[in-house]
Structures are given as C-alpha cells and as structure tokens.
Chain A
Amino acid sequence: MNEIFGLSIIFSTIRLATPLLLAALGGLYSERAGIINIALEGLMLAGAFTAAAVTHYSGSPWVGLLAGIAAGVAVAGIHAVVCIEFKADQVVSGTAINILFLGVPALMSGALFSSTGATPQIPKENLMPWTPIAMAFALVLLTWYVLYRTPFGLRLRAVGENPAAADAAGVSVARVRYSAVLISGALAAIGGAYLSIGQASLFTRNMTAGRGFIALAALIFGKWRPVQTMLACLLFGFAEAVSIQMQGVAKIPVQFIQMIPYVLTIVVLAGFIGTSRAPRALGLPYSKE
C-alpha cells in the first residue's frame, strides 16, 4: 500500500493528468464562448498522429509539435465553420469529427507506413517528455489571466453567456467564437501530441482511448473554470495512476477506478455535489437579428 501512495504516484498523476489538462483547457475556451466541443477526442487524435508522423520524418519533436498544433487548428476550423457559419448542431458536428479522426490517421498510416494505424517508433532522443507538462500547467495560469483579466477574455465570456448583449456592445460574436474554437484545437492537439511524442514514442490506433471525453468530464467537474478544471484533471489522473499501479495486485477491480471520472461527472452535473452550470448560451447558434 505504501508504494501506491509514494512519490512515484505523484509523478505518474502529473504525467497522466497532462493530456487531460491540455484538452480540457482547450474545451474551456470553446465552451466558455458557447460552442460545445465534444470533438476534443478527435482533435487530440489529429494532434497525436500528425506530431508523431512529422517527428518521424523531421527528427525534431518541435517541428512535430508545431505540425500537430497546425493539424488541431485546421480540424477545429472545420468544427468552427460547420457550427458558426452553418449553425449546425454542435454535438453532431463534434461526433462527426471524432469518427473522422478515428479513420483518417488509420487511413494515412496505412499509406505512409504500410501499417494498420501506427507510426514507426521514434528514437528516444527525439521525444518531448517534459515540455508539454510544463506547458499544460503554465497554460492554467495563462488561461485564468486571459479569461478574467483581458478584454478578449471578457468578450469570450460575454459571447458564451449572452451573445445578443455582446453583439449589441459591438463585439463580433462570430469572430470571438472562431478564435475560441481554433485555440481549443491547438490546445487539444498539444495534449494529443504529448501522448504520441511525450509519453509514448509512436502513434497507435485510437491511442487517446477516451481521454478527450475524460477531459470533457474534467471541464464539467471543474465547472468550466481553469483552476478547478486543473484540480479535476489531477483527480482523474490520480485515479488512473492508482488503477495502473493496482493492476494485478488489486483487491478493488480496476474497472471501478476507471469509472470514477464518469460517475463523478454525472453526479456533479445533477447537482448532488454543488452545482455545475454551463455557460448560458452553450450550444446555441447565434444569428444577428
């Protein structure tokens, strides 16, 4: 029992929380601006695959990371155009993107590497094990600052709570929402890139394994606020770390530990522990009258 709660569990909690945190912060920008982002999973996959493939070719994880971010922004751009321009149902669009990026990396890797969804192994010296962790936690502070201390943050929140009022005050609802969704693509993609060129050393099929949804859960559990979201990610990362360490020695089945984030989200959303209120205009397309 001692080693379970030792120093190693703290490190692995931080490592496991990092991709969740990056994606959840991404989701935060989008959702605080009023655009539901259940595409986090797909955005992470886009970032993870692109980062691994480009790192493999270029030999530089920085180039890989940048390419991953570009991919995330491009894919988020699809979500943004479909949701903002064509006022499509945001959940439906997100679902489509998740399905798309289950398929695209597998299709591309078959062509590029003649594999069924994996990229080649990246040598250890070309990995990026620490930078994304630092970025993730720095981004919590930055996000807090941007959200609550800058004009952009004020507009972002206004657009998510009451777009008509923001519009009347001269804020371009569409422009703010576009920026928010693109930022969310970039952050989720860094989260994905950390999985493929940080934690692991290659991309494997569906390697996010639902982390985009856990990030979404953390965002809701953290009440759409940066610091609380970070704490939620650490909690869920801790749950995952414990379930990994307890594999084999466990008296408690791992399935129950894996369920924790999901059950907590349902409970908190129903208002059993405090309340978690979504931005008021979340999911509603805005059109000028």
Chain B
Amino acid sequence: MKLVRELIFPLVAIIAAFIVGAVFVVLIGDDPIETYRLLIGSALSWPDGIGYTLFYATPLIFTGLAVAVAFRCGLLNIGAEGQLYVAAFVTAWVGFTFAGLPGWVLIPLACLTAILGGAAWGAIPGVLKARFGSHEVINTIMLNFIAVALASYFTQYFYKNEGDAIMQTKLIGLIDPARGLTGENAHIPRLGEFIPGFPERIPLNVSFILALVACAFVYVFLWRTKWGYEIRATGANPTAAEYGGISTGKQIVLAMAVSGGLAGMVAINEVLGYRYRYYDGFSPGYGFTGIAVALLGRNHPIGVLLSALLFGALLRGGLFVDIFTDRVSKDLVLVLQAVVILFVAAEALFRSSFGRFSLLRRSKV
C-alpha cells in the first residue's frame, strides 16, 4: 500500500504536467499528440535516442541525488548549479595543469577534484547555516552567481586559449599534434567502446555507470550508516536530534558537503567525458532540474534515478520537437518540468481526497 501511494502521486504529477503541456501546445496552434509522439519517439529510438537520453540523464542523476541528500537533512540546496560550475572549473584546471600525468593518475585525481570542489562549495552554506543560522536557500542562490562569475573570471583572464572568442578554457590532457597526442590521457571512455552496435559518437560515457554507483552510495550512506541516520534525524526533527545527542550543526555541514560533492560529479561527465574543457555557461540548469528530479523521485535514490531518466528523455526529445514541429520549441520541456514541480509541491491537492493532510509534514516527504 505504501509503495502504491509513493508511486501514485508522482505519476499523477507527470500526467498533469503533460495535460498542461498539451494545453499550451494547442494554444500555440500545434497538435499535442503529434508533439508528444515526436518527443517520446525520439527519446526512445535505438541507439541514438536511448544513448542521448541516458547521456542527458547522467548529470540529472547527480544533481537529483545532491538535492535529495540535502532535503533528507531538512535543507533545500538550490545551489547545485553553483557547485557543479565550481567543480567543472577546478576539474578542467587539474586536467590541463597536470596534463603530463599518466591517465591512471590524472583521471582519478580529476574525479576527486570534481567531488571535493563541489563539496567545498556546498559546505560554505552549510557552515553559514550551522554557525550563523543564515538561511541556506538565500546563500546557495547567491553562491550560484558567485561561482559562475569566479569561473568566468579565471577563464577569461588566465586560462583561455589566445585569441579564442568563446569563453572556454584550454583542452585537458596532454596535447601534442607532432606525437599524435590529443589529450586522451585525461578522457574517460565512452560506452560505445564497450557495447557492440552502440556508436562511439554518442557522448554517453563511464560517468553514467558512476551515477548508478552514486545512487547505491546514497542509499547505503543515508540508510545504512551512522552519519546517514544522524542526517535524517536532523532533517526529521532537529530539536529531538539535538536532545538525542546529535550535533545538528555538524550534520548540516556534512549533508551540504555530500550534496555538493554529488553535484560536483556532474563535472566528471561534462569535462572528462564530453567537452574535455571548462565551457562558460555549459549547464542548461542541471542544478535546478535536479530539484524537480529529487521532488518527483521523493528524495529516494531509486526515485531519483527514474525521474532523472524521464527528464533526460524530455531534454533529448525536446530537441526534436524544436526542429520537427512547426511552432513548438524545446521550451515546452521547461513548462513540463515546472508543472511537475508545482504539482508535487502542492501534494495536498491530491492528498486531500485521500484525507491525508496529516502526512504533509515536510519531514515525511
């Protein structure tokens, strides 16, 4: 019964979003059924549809997990966007500064940098909240802008290729055309290298596997370790947790650091697996979509995985809707996302008919 309830509300939210989306499509004078067929069909075709859906889902799994971990501690991390920007920049920095290292050293080092960079940026609002009681929502919003500005500053003044008009850093890895080196010692392999019949041009890479591992890690961390227990206790009832001998301040910092580290792992996909450099403005709001992913996934790793796949499919399908319909643009996906969040947030809308207003405490989510 519990499982059914857990599944029904997200499903209703998704259906509601598609209905609202259809209304928009009709309003702007296009055919919703054709639009949705295009959206879903192009996201599920083999191999390109599936490949790109999983590729777009990868960063969303990371940011969804990031938001979920913070949420379990009673914190709303709107800062995944800033955390992943910081992580992407420092990862690229390691990638081109230590370009001479062999791959088996450089790649783990860069991955570790991604996690630590995101964790450090995430820990700042945690410390500010634990130490000064200032609200993490405001601080993470502010830190998002600061992160983007800092990364853009360092890119523009220190690490751009001479004469490059685009705001991007140098490429990572050892590059020496004379010896045929293209920086591959810093690249993580694409899945096409292992799966027969799956083309290598699709950028889906090993970080998707890492994302699955991260789901398992979050599950074990939250439900099978002392730290996870203390984080959840803090989220459920900070006063009771404090009485129970838990230092809630420490849990807040820990949860924000873990959350930031997970968001930082987006950099592994982006920098080591896809673009091989830091690129200003690379994220189409992965951090914010992560909020939708976590909410729809009910802040559980399995839910996060499923909803990240859904949003990944929407991102992929949106591109095709953009090209192949007359009037609908890929912005339809943003509308679907927003409506999903609104419906999940306004759960009482559904729950009232089940007479379950009492379940609305945020700690129960």
Q: Could you tell me which A residues sit within 8 Å of B by CB distance?
A: 36, 38, 78, 81-82, 85-89, 91-93, 95-100, 102-104, 106-108, 110-112, 114, 116-117, 210, 213, 216-217, 220, 253, 255-256, 258-259, 262-263, 265-266, 269-271, 278
Contact = CB atoms under 8 A, between A and B. Distances in A.
Interface string B321-365: 000000111011111011101100111110000000000101000
Contacts of B349: 86
Interface in B128-153: 128, 131-132, 134-135, 137-139, 141-143, 145-146, 149-150, 152-153
A199 to B, nearest CB: 21
A36 B331 CA distance: 26
B18 interface: no
Interface string B111-140: 000000000000000001001101101110
Interface of B: 24, 27-30, 76, 78, 128, 131-132, 134-135, 137-139, 141-143, 145-146, 149-150, 152-153, 156-157, 285, 288, 291-292, 295, 327-329, 331-335, 337-339, 341-342, 345-349, 360, 362
A271 B342 contact: no
B128 A91 contact: no
Contacts of B149: 255-256, 258-259
Contacts, number: 155
Contacts of B152: 255
A110 B141 contact: no
Interface centre among B28, B292, B341 (most CB of A within 10 A): B341
A57 to B, nearest CB: 16
Residue of A99, A112, A116, A256 most packed against chain B (CB within 10 A): A99
Given A266-B128, A269-B134, A82 B345 contact: yes
A107 B143 contact: no
Contacts of A98: 288
A108 B334 CA distance: 13
A99 B338 contact: yes
A103 B362 contact: no
B362 A89 contact: yes
15 contacts: A85-B346, A92-B341, A92-B345, A99-B334, A103-B332, A107-B28, A107-B331, A107-B335, A110-B331, A111-B328, A116-B329, A255-B152, A258-B145, A262-B142, A271-B134
